[in-house]
Every structure is written in structure tokens, then in C-alpha cells.
């Protein structure tokens, strides 16, 4: 183990460049998963399973948060997408 990079910054390896990611894909996939889970728990709730009310509400909240994140990404990250393309 070398201690030189700890106390001497000139000995450090150069940092890698940040990876460009498409947040629309990540937020969209998560939102779709939450929406599918909400549909499943909604069907179970309509079939009479009262123990899934909390799970249904959590899935609805996850879907709403995902939609809000997609809206945020659309309006606030246009410059990042323009530079990454």
C-alpha cells in the first residue's frame, strides 16, 4: 500500500471523467415498475385483500414521485442532455 497519494496530490492518478447517463430511462423504468406494482396491488385490493392498502398507497406515491422526477428532468436538465449528445 502506497501512502504517497494520501499526502501528496501530485502522486495521485487522474480522476476518471464522469459518465453521461440518460436520466429519462432510469426515471421512466422506475416509474413503470411502480405503476405495475400499483396495478397489481389495486387488483388485490379490489379482490378483497385489505392488508395491501399500505402497499397500494406506497406504489401510488412511488409512481407520483417518478412522474415528478421525469418532469424535473425534462425542464431542468436540457443543457446536460444537449452537451452529452
Q: Is residue 16 included in any domain, yes or no?
A: no
| pLDDT of residue 38 exceeding 60 | yes
| pLDDT of residue 45 exceeding 70 | yes
Mean pLDDT of 46-75: 93
Q: Is residue 8 included in any domain, yes or no?
A: no
Q: Is residue 7 included in any domain, yes or no?
A: no
Closest CA to 54 of 45, 43, 65: 45
Task: Tell me the pLDDT band of 2, cut-offs 50, 70 and 90.
Answer: low
Q: Is residue 62 included in any domain, yes or no?
A: yes
Q: Is residue 9 included in any domain, yes or no?
A: no
Mean pLDDT of 38-66: 95
Range list of H helices, the chain = 4-7, 23-46, 53-76, 78-84
Domain range spanning residue 30? 23-84
Q: Is residue 11 included in any domain, yes or no?
A: no
Q: Is residue 48 included in any domain, yes or no?
A: yes
Q: Is residue 15 included in any domain, yes or no?
A: no
Structural domains in the chain (count): 1
Q: How far apart are the first and last CA of the chain?
A: 40
Amino acid at each position: 500500500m502506497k501512502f504517497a497519494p494520501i499526502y501528496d496530490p501530485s502522486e495521485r492518478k487522474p480522476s476518471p471523467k464522469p459518465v453521461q447517463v440518460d436520466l429519462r430511462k432510469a426515471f421512466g423504468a422506475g416509474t413503470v415498475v411502480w405503476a405495475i406494482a400499483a396495478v397489481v396491488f389495486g387488483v388485490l385490493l379490489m379482490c378483497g385483500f385489505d392488508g395491501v392498502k399500505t402497499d397500494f398507497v406506497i406504489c401510488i406515491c412511488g409512481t407520483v414521485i417518478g412522474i415528478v422526477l421525469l418532469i424535473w428532468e425534462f425542464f431542468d436538465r436540457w443543457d446536460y442532455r444537449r452537451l452529452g449528445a
